[in-house]
Chains A and B, each alone.
Chain A
Amino acid sequence: MRAAASLGRKFRAIFSAQLANMVAYRAELIIWMLSGTLSFIMMAIWISQARAAGGEIGGFTEARFASYFTGTWVTGQLLVVWVAWELDVQIRLGNLSPKLLRPLDPLWEHLSNHLGDRLVRAPFIALLACLPLLLVPGAGFTTDPRVYAAYLLVVALGLLIRFLIEYCIGLLCFWTESATSFSEISWLVYAALGGVFAPLQLYPEALRRVARLTPFPYMVNLPATMLAGDAAWGDVGRGVLVLLGWAAALGTLRLVMWRLGLRRYGAVGA
């Protein structure tokens, strides 16, 4: 209990500093947000396809496509993770050393850095998400507050899993020259199996089965469907359980990789 309280105090101090850091970079952050418009491009493509097909594809109307892809954009913004890039630089250039000298796992600083970003990013996400919903007739998000509460839980778990996956990828730098190329592949798999390019409901059954073996559909497709008001509570409950399992497994993997990796750390230049 005392250990948890102590960790809480440390985390609060790091979080305040990282939040201040993110506020200092708010202009860059907005530009970075604007560069992540893949969901809106996919939305335009699928809406035009639905129009050409007579108004809908696989039960998805123009309005439903707009709601779904706005949901994937909002969720994607909340799941942005760059920790692999940071670890890559820190391990290769030896910048990890000052952090290793402190009695606190550097993971907490990285995590607070991402959470600080989310807090600064949130108002801009809310503002930008309104645009497609206003522009496409019939599009919109659910008005059920319980869904939003469940959405926050699912997205929090999704962020934790994405963070842990990218953390493990960053730790590969203990064994390889650079880990960022793995991060690119990881994003592609996350986007393809998560439903960033198309709603998973439109995927062939075989591919859907493969996707369900990974955490990605529960990280993007599920929360986006929840915002669009199309998710069943049973799917949400199952999704939360799956995400908890993946979080535990990846948390363990991260710890093992961290301990093994530190034995190989070269502390280059410092």
Chain B
Amino acid sequence: MTTPHDAALRVRGLTKHYVVHEKEPGLLGSLKSFVNRRSRTVEAVRGVNLDLARGEMVGFLGPNGAGKTTTLKMLSGLLHPTSGEVDVLGFEPRRRHADFLRSITLVMGQKQQLLWDLPALDSFLVNQAIYEIDDADFKRTMREYDEVLDLSGILRKQVRKLSLGERMKCELAAALLHRPRVLFLDEPTIGLDVNMQVRIREFVREYNRREDATVILTSHYMADVTALCERIVVIDAGRVVFDGDLGALVERSSPYKTVKLQLASPASTERLARHGEVVSHDGLGVELNMPRAEVGERAARLLTDLDVADLTVEDPPIETVIGRLFGAERAPEHA
């Protein structure tokens, strides 16, 4: 399998099946399981196809258990696929070639690589040796990361005494010390406060710009995805159900826009309903849904018909869009 020069990642028909053992709860369940252990095969990833260009940032979305993390683990070489082909920078990840491992990183928001009882700087020095980074490069990288992440005050503190945000900054810097060309970021901002989320996002954006790095990001915080990624891949029940730009996703899953009104004088719900679907009507505050294609025309008519003090037109929140997409994809299976 070959990779074109501008392609960073190519995936074809990727699947992963797990065998899981099942046991009923309680003592009786334990005894039954001891005598007759039952197992079943879970199809975590089912025929995923994906292409990423060098420098591209992609948001990988899906509900819990959709197969996002399993896919990232296969792309980074942690898991061996059941079937399918994976090519990352010309390498087959499962072989864990040293040059491949030097070219990628996987940051897991819920796992740590830093040495718990030592200052974070010790982990950086270990990574410097493992990735064979010379002193000049090491110092330059640390200086750059310090500018964005403000690390200097925390590097000499024991990792276990760092706050979650401080630790995550160190985790991210340690994982990127060797300047990887492909970043797999699995929930990198989980549990962080809003300021720290913004700081991490800025760092990732800056890294992508400087290094022309390819980034796949999973996050439950839609703000991470909307701030960083133009392209979205949505995975559900192990299958890719959408692959395209964020705008197209909103258009496809949400054929209407939300018009928020602040009225100067009251209007009845019946009168408002002539302009669109009334989502809420609380005194002078009104929220209407209007078909996407007719928003301009309807809004103009509404302004002449009603006494409007303020009007804004918005796309529905991305969380709603994604939720609706999952609902739509699952409906035929349940039918």
Taking Cβ atoms with an 8 Å cutoff, the residues of A that contact B are: 6, 9-10, 12-14, 16-17, 20-21, 24-25, 94-95, 97-104, 262-263, 265-267, 269-270
Contacts and interface: CB of A to CB of B under 8 A. Distances in A.
Interface of B: 18, 73, 76-80, 96, 98, 101-102, 104-106, 108, 110-113, 115, 117-118, 122-123, 125-132
A16 B122 CA distance: 9
A263 B129 CA distance: 28
Contact of B101 (A6, A25, A103): A103
A270 B96 contact: no
B110 A270 contact: yes
Given A101-B76, A103-B98, A103-B101, A270 B130 contact: no
A101 B111 contact: no
B73 A13 contact: no
> How would you classify the secondary structure of chain A's contact residues: helix, strand, loop or mixed?
helix
A102 B104 CA distance: 9
5 contacts: A17-B123, A25-B117, A94-B111, A267-B73, A269-B111
B115 A17 contact: yes
B80 A263 contact: yes
Contact of A267 (B78, B112, B117): B78
B130 A104 contact: yes
B117 A13 contact: no
Nearest to A93: B111
B111 A97 contact: yes
A270 B79 CA distance: 11
Contacts, number: 80
Contact of B96 (A10, A25, A94, A100): A100
Contacts of B106: 97, 101
Given A20-B118, A21-B117, A14 B129 contact: yes
Contacts of B122: 16-17, 20
Interface centre among A263, A266, A269, A270 (most CB of B within 10 A): A270
Contacts of A104: 130
A166 to B, nearest CB: 22
Nearest to B117: A24
Given A17-B115, A100-B96, A101-B101, 17 more contacts: A10-B130, A13-B129, A14-B126, A14-B129, A16-B122, A16-B125, A17-B122, A21-B117, A97-B111, A98-B111, A101-B78, A101-B105, A102-B127, A103-B98, A262-B80, A269-B111, A270-B110
B239 to A, nearest CB: 21
Nearest to B115: A17
A270 B110 CA distance: 7
